[in-house]
Amino acid sequence: MSYPAQPFKDKEFARKFYELMVRSRVLEEKLIRMAKSDDGFFWIGGPGEEAFNISLGLQVKKGHGLEHDFLHLHYRNNGTLLAMGSPMIDFIRQMKNSKNDPFSGGRNFVSHVCKKEWNVVPATSTIETQYSVSPGTARAQWRARQQGKDAGVTIVVGGDAGSAEGDFATCLIWASRPEQELPMLIIVTNNSYGISTSAETQHGEKNVSDRGKAFGIETLVCDGNNPERIWSSIEKGLDYVRGSGRPFILEAKVSRLNGHSSSSGANRVDEPDCIEIFERKLLKNAWITEEEISDIRKSAQAEVNKAHEEVRKEPYPDAGTFQDHTYADGKRGGIPGRDF
Amino acid sequence: MANMAQAIRLALHYGEKNLGVTDIFGEDVGAPLGGVFTCTQGLKTTWNTPLDERGIVGHAIGLALAGQKPVAEIQFCDYIFNTIDLLKLAGNSCWSSNGQYPLDMVLMTPHGAGIHGSIYHSHSFDAWATRLPGWKIVIPSNPLDAYGLMLAALEDPNPVMYLAPKALLRSKGKEKIPGEPDEAELKKAIDAPIGDRQNWEPQWPAIQRHLQPLGKAKQVRQGNSATIVTYGRHVQMSQQVADELSSKGMGEVRVIDLCTLYPYDWEAISKAVLETGKILFVNEDTEITNFGEHLLRRVIDEHYYQLKARPRVLAAQHVPGVGLAPTLEEATVPQKKDIEKAITEILQERT
Ligand SMILES: Cc1ncc(C[n+]2csc(CCOP(=O)(O)OP(=O)(O)O)c2C)c(N)n1
């Protein structure tokens, strides 16, 4: 995908970016309401990370196979998929554990995305394990590059608290083996909390990404609430990885606008909001009017409501399918000679 | 005759050449060592990893997600425990993605006691492994099956865990792998020389496809007086016990080598219960929450009224480890004499 060299100097682009941010926020708000009204069991997601998610989603080399980027996502990245082109209804289906949930067939929590068509590998609840797994897809791409083939890169995303797990160190070590450095954009979305525990009370390092320096990995810390900054930081990271075939760590400081999850109430908290920040800028530039802002919200609202109405009618997966796909080709698991 | 390590090596070579294996990796798996048990010497796609089991399992998952065909090794199953959540993830990738991401990968690891391995080279993993839905679990008892099970594992599109009995890796079998040359010739062709190996290259014999299909047990000894169901290094021991009991005129004990622990061959077990009415499950993992207990429970659930004697499990003692002193090891993991005692009791039980 190509964008203007300075996308945020381009009115059309900026408006498109804003609209995606709003759609992503409205979607998350709907998901929260669903969790609060027995229309789903649990919510976790990414309000506050829209600037990051949309920037990432628009810059991914989307598709299936080694020549495209692999995405190992966190549970706050619905907006990334939305920006890549997933319809809102996909996420609502997962929230409702609908039989049509395209990510997990009604098996996983909302925001645990997976879309093979676009190299989006299963997002898992086990904090940080994606950092042990992602060097594997990166190695496959490294090999393709060695063979002179066109290859994408691997992108892994996770939180700050999770970086205390050994998997983070695994990622740094495996990504930086001498002569075999891996084409990976290693991202930490730092909201300075792990559920209720503040990073200050647990982490002595100034920046999580500083740990990459010991391995000679390029690092960058940026303000994830500023669309321009986060866009250009991701662009810089991706350019570097695509160009050099080496790893890059990007730490984005983000807000967590509705707390950790529905378990902590999912109520709005007082932290900087990237959408409000961007809105002020657009208004100041006279690139948008108050009325247009209201229209964008209304249309996103209508879109999400329509999707919700449709999903309401959808059943859970048939009980008889609970063992399906335990093995490849749809095969069931269970007790040999009884279940299959 | 090939030993088990050579058989595994031949199978991996076959896999590289014919089945699209892309990566064989783990600690000391690549040159110069080729694995602490030499199972990966001279292979084309091997490489050494950092000393990081979570990284190894994670990497295998990642490679499989990217459509490669990895074979990863955990140097000893004693060091696999810190990877359990990743093993769970490998097992649930296909299911949790509603079929999108099956993982075509093999994880092999030396298993069990019997090499004077002390506390951290004597662990078994079968009880843990069989609690990992989404995986298939195999364990060979001789070189030919080691070859056939590895080929079957490589041909299967799912995660397969390959438990290789440590105590058998250097032992030879009775049957040749199709295409296997004479012992001396084989050794010369595929064993790396001691010392400088830099310019060494193996001369692979033209071995052929031979499968021990996943999910199929082998009846390795006929008999209708009672049945022993076992696997790995206890197969041979059980056969010897059965032969001795037969020569003493105490009955003919059927011995079943399970080969695949999941999906296990229920048909073979069920048939054995119906035909012999007496059954003993033998393995060397600790006895509380043991895989043999599951099989025993199933026998009771489905064949209670066909049993002619109390069915039993013979497994290792529930202790934190296997002690190094031979007295301690022998008191901990089932020995030939323990099998003999247990099956004799079963044979003698009045119905
Ligand atoms: C391995 C593991 N340990 C604990 C949990 C429970 N848990 C879920 S989210 C979370 C906090 C994660 O914080 P961070 O990595 O900063 O990500 P954030 O939620 O802030 O985006 C914890 C402890 C888990 N899911 N996985």
B74 contacts: CB under 8 Å, gap ≥ 6:
B26, B53, B56, B57, B80, B83, B107, B108, B109
CA of A165, closest atom in ligand 1? 1
Apex A238 CA angle, A233 and A239, nearest 5: 95
Q: Which residues of B touch A136 (CB under 8 A)?
A: 58-66, 70
Q: Domain spanning A7-314 has what CATH number?
A: 3.40.50.970
Nearest CA in chain A to B52: A170
Closest protein CA for atom 18 of ligand 1: A159
A138 touches chain B (CB under 8 A): yes
Nearest CA in chain B to A169: B55
Closest protein CA for atom 6 of ligand 1: A127
Residues B111, B187: Cα–Cα separation, whole Å: 24
- Which pair of tokens denotes residue B303? 């064949």
Residue showing tokens 């669309």: A227
Domain B218-348 is found in CATH 3.40.50.2000: no
Smallest CA-to-CA distance from B47 within B62, B64, B59 is with: B59
Question: A with B: how many residue pairs have Cβ under 8 Å apart?
Answer: 146
Q: Which residues of B touch A336 (CB under 8 A)?
A: 215, 262-266
B99 touches chain A (CB under 8 A): yes
Cβ contact, residue pair B266, A336, below 8 Å: yes
* Bridge partners (DSSP) listed for residue B110: B164
Q: Which residues of A touch B49 (CB under 8 A)?
A: 174
3 state DSSP class of A295: helix
Cβ contact, residue pair B99, A105, below 8 Å: yes
* Smallest Cα distance from B154 to chain A, Å: 14
Q: Where are the domains of chain B?
A: 4-190, 218-348
Nearest CA in chain A to B298: A335
Cβ contact, residue pair B133, A133, below 8 Å: no
Alpha helix stretches (DSSP H) within chain A? 11-36, 50-59, 78-84, 88-95, 129-146, 166-175, 227-244, 274-284, 290-312
CB A62, CB A69: distance < 8 Å: yes
Smallest CA-to-CA distance from A137 within B348, B103, B88 is with: B103
Q: Which of residues 148-167 of B touch A (CB under 8 A)?
A: 157-158
Say if ligand 1 is within 6 A of residue A244 CB. Answer: no
Q: Which of residues 18-57 of B touch A (CB under 8 A)?
A: 22-23, 49-50, 52, 54-55, 57
Average pLDDT over chain A reads 97
Residues A304, A31: Cα–Cα separation, whole Å: 10
Q: In chain B, which ranges are E strands?
A: 23-26, 46-48, 70-73, 106-111, 136-138, 160-165, 218-221, 226-230, 253-257, 260-262, 279-286, 312-316
Region of residue B330 (left: phi > 0; alpha: psi -120 to 50; beta: else)? alpha
Alpha helix stretches (DSSP H) within B197-256? 234-247
**What are the average pLDDT values for consecutive 10-residue runs of chain B, which has 351 residues?**
97 98 98 97 98 98 98 98 98 98 98 97 98 98 98 98 98 96 97 92 97 98 98 98 98 98 98 98 98 98 98 98 97 98 95 65
- Phi, psi dihedral angles at B256 (to 5 degrees): -115, 125
CB B161, CB B134: distance < 8 Å: no
Cβ contact, residue pair B97, A104, below 8 Å: yes
Smallest CA-to-CA distance from B166 within B39, B62, B295 is with: B39
Amino acid letter, residue B225: S
Interface test with B, best of A137, A184, A323, A338 (most B CBs within 10 A): A137
Cβ contact, residue pair B100, A124, below 8 Å: no
Q: Give the pLDDT of residue B337.
A: 98
Q: Which of B58, B133, B266 sits opposite A170 (nearest CB)?
A: B58
Q: Where are the domains of chain A?
A: 7-314
Cβ contact, residue pair B96, A108, below 8 Å: yes
Q: Which of A134, A136, A173 sits opposite B50 (nearest CB)?
A: A173
Q: Which of A140, A141, A333 sits opposite B133 (nearest CB)?
A: A333
Q: Give the pLDDT of residue B351.
A: 65
Q: Give the pLDDT of residue B350.
A: 77
B65 touches chain A (CB under 8 A): yes
Pairing state between β B106-111 and B70-73: parallel
Cα of A191 vs centre of ligand 1, distance in Å, is 12
* Smallest Cα distance from B90 to chain A, Å: 10
**What are the average pLDDT values for consecutive 10-residue runs of chain A, which has 340 residues?**
89 98 98 95 98 98 98 98 98 98 98 98 98 99 98 98 98 98 98 97 97 98 98 98 98 98 96 98 98 98 98 97 97 95
Cβ contact, residue pair A132, B298, below 8 Å: no
Interface test with B, best of A113, A149, A325 (most B CBs within 10 A): A325
Q: Give the pLDDT of residue B271.
A: 98
Q: Give the pLDDT of residue A38.
A: 87
Nearest CA in chain A to B61: A133
Are B4-190 and B218-348 the same fold in CATH? yes
Convert the pLDDT of each residue in B185-227 to its tens digit. Answer: 999 999 999 988 989 999 999 999 999 999 999 999 999 999 9
Say if ligand 1 is within 6 A of residue A126 CB. Answer: yes
Q: Give the pLDDT of residue B213.
A: 98
Top-level class of domain B4-190: alpha beta
